[in-house]
Structure 1
Amino acid sequence: MTAPGYDAAFLDVPVPLPVAGRVVRELTYVHFTVLLDPARRLAVATGVNVDGAALRDLDRSDDWRLDPRVDAGEQAGADLYAGNDLDRGHLVRRSDPVWGGPAEAEQAERDTFAYPNAAPQAGLFNQSRELWLGLEDHVLTYADTHDAKLSVFTAPVLGADDPPYRGVGIPRLFWKVAAWAARPAPGAEPVLAATAYVLDQTPQLDDIDLETERALLAGEPPPLGPYRTYQVPVADVAALTGLDLGSLVAADRLPGAASVGTRERWVELGSLSEIRM
């Protein structure tokens, strides 16, 4: 199951994987890498290279499985999702690494169904979740004037207060950073550009703690409310996660995103057209 994984030199400017600053299992797959936190049993970061000009449309394999390279107790598997309305949410989207030769693309598609590439998400499907799923496509379209390539980083925010369920803390927030090589003018040297997003699945309840306690006592997953998607400063993702995002922070395309601030700076998105590039 050896694969080269995420390539930091994929774009015309180097973009290393985030640095976790904690114990992780680095799991490489075809065109992407998962940094698995064995204590939380979920990914602290993922990185995928997306070649928009070479993507292939393949049937969905849908064969979720544990990764044999790490202990079963270090990854959240089928037991977490059985008998409830939690979705196995792909972190690296199923379609993103599916490019290259036929065998390469088919293996990449299958690789996205490894449990380290999943995290529990609310089963409720709404407009904001559709928006979240379409972010990479939108950024690819924008980057198409250059080389139609992206490097994308995604994971849940592993908060200390995430409500526990079946031995796994259920994340309230997810983050994504998309990066591409931009050229300020024809013939100019490429520069790194990036945008960042947060998906919030916190329940919209008056008393979250009380409702969470009731759910846990009943053997149910914590209540997860409607999705809300935000464009946020890359620096805020680094602050939320504790990850070192390196040059991505300075490459942020969100106006006024130079320093870490409050959530008042977050831009709630109602459609892809509202993204600031």
Structure 2
Amino acid sequence: MTSTAGYDTAFLSTIDLDPPTRPGLVVLPYTHFTVAIDPDRRLAASTAVNIDGPQLRDVERGDDWQLDPRLPATQQAGPELYSSNDLDRGHLVRRRDPVWGNAAIAKQANADTFHYTVCAPQTATLNQSKTLWLDLEDYVLDHARQYGQRLSVYSGCIFADDDPVYRGVAIPRGSSKSQPGNKTPSSPRPDTSSARHPRWGRSSNVPPAPTPLSPARPVPNLPGTDRGHRRRDRAVDAPTRRRRSVHASARCSARTWTVD
């Protein structure tokens, strides 16, 4: 059973922040988020979720994927699209994002994210990579949790007329995610601008900008430079070079033991 509350447009401000939309979409509210399905493409054109950092909860993941009974099966991409292939069911609304509030609500929000209407076909490289989609999801959620922030996040499929068709579904080749703004209900982060570093003259946790390097200049072939040494080394026979190498190693070892 899904919640009819859905995404709250006034979650961050007294001014409503409406999610991206267009005509022809079917809007499905869930617990703390809303999905807008394109019934022709059978995938979500947009999703919108509210994240309450101070109230986030850890709930066991589960994996009970199901169709949404409020929408005809012919208007949503179901298990047949993901069977026996390398496509991931990529959450457009990250499973952990709406999981906040009391225990019962958080548990329902977690279950709501396992509807096929909430996911899109993604390659494992995109969906699971620590430098791509997953990394972006981690950054948003960790930021909300660490700084006690309330966030609203919009995601969706990027549809194109020439998307390749697979098992009757045109597979989008791109996804979008945006965070329009945030609100911190608790005390603001401390101002460290007055914490001046004695050497840098600025905030102690901000290093100074590096000094620009001067343009590189060619090294002349002068006697006594490294280039000259390399030329002379090439003229030395191999046995002599080996003896020099052994003597140098012995000296380094002796210095090492002396220091210790």
Structure 2 match to 1:165: 166
The aligned residue for residue 121 of structure 1 is 122
- 8 Å contact 1:155–1:175 — kept in the other structure? yes
Comparing both structures, which one devotes a greater share of its residues to helix?
2
Q: Cα–Cα, structure 1 residues 180 and 139, in superposed 2: closer, same or farther, change >3 Å?
A: farther
Letter in 2 for 1:105: A
Q: Distance in 2 between matches of 1:106 and 1:164?
A: 35
What is the aligned partner in structure 2 of residue 35 from structure 1? 36
Structure 1 residue 82, shift from structure 2 partner: 0.2
1:61 counterpart residue number: 62
Report the TM-score, using the length of structure 2 for normalisation. 0.65
Match of 2:139 in 1: 135
Equivalent in the alignment of 2:200:
none
Instruction: Summarize the alignment of residues 177-216 of structure 1 with structure 2, pairs less than 5 Å apart.
Output: 177-181=178-182
Structure 1 residue 16: Cα displacement: 2.6
Q: CA deviation at 1:127?
A: 3.3
Deviation at residue 36 of structure 1 after TM alignment = 0.5
What is the percent sequence identity of the aligned residues? 45
- CA deviation string 1:156-202 (max 9, x = no partner): 1011111111111111111111133469xx99xxxxxxxxxxxxxxx
Q: Which runs of 5+ in 2 are unaligned?
A: 189-260
Equivalent residue for 2:100? 99
Q: 1:8 to 1:76 in 2, by over 3 A?
A: same
Supply the AA of the counterpart residue of 1:128: T
Cα distance in 1 for residues equivalent to 2:75 and 2:177: 23
2-side partners of 1:72 and 1:47: how far apart? 22
> Which AA in structure 1 matches 2:97?
D
Displacement over 6 Å in runs of 4+: none
CA RMSD, Structure 1 to Structure 2 (Å): 2.1
Cα deviations by residue, 1:223-253 (Å, 9 ceiling, x for unpaired): xxxxxxxxxxxxxxxxxxxxxxxxxxxxxxx
Q: Which has the larger radius of gyration?
A: 2
1:49–1:97 CA contact under 8 A, matched in 2: yes
TM-score under structure 1 length normalisation? 0.61
In the superposition, relative to structure 1, how do residues 105 and 126 fare at CA in structure 2: closer, same or farther (>3 Å)? closer
Q: Distance in 1 between matches of 2:78 and 2:29?
A: 18
Work out the CA distance in 2 between the residues paired with 1:2 and 1:141: 24
Q: Would you say the 8 A contact 2:97–2:141 is kept in 1?
A: no
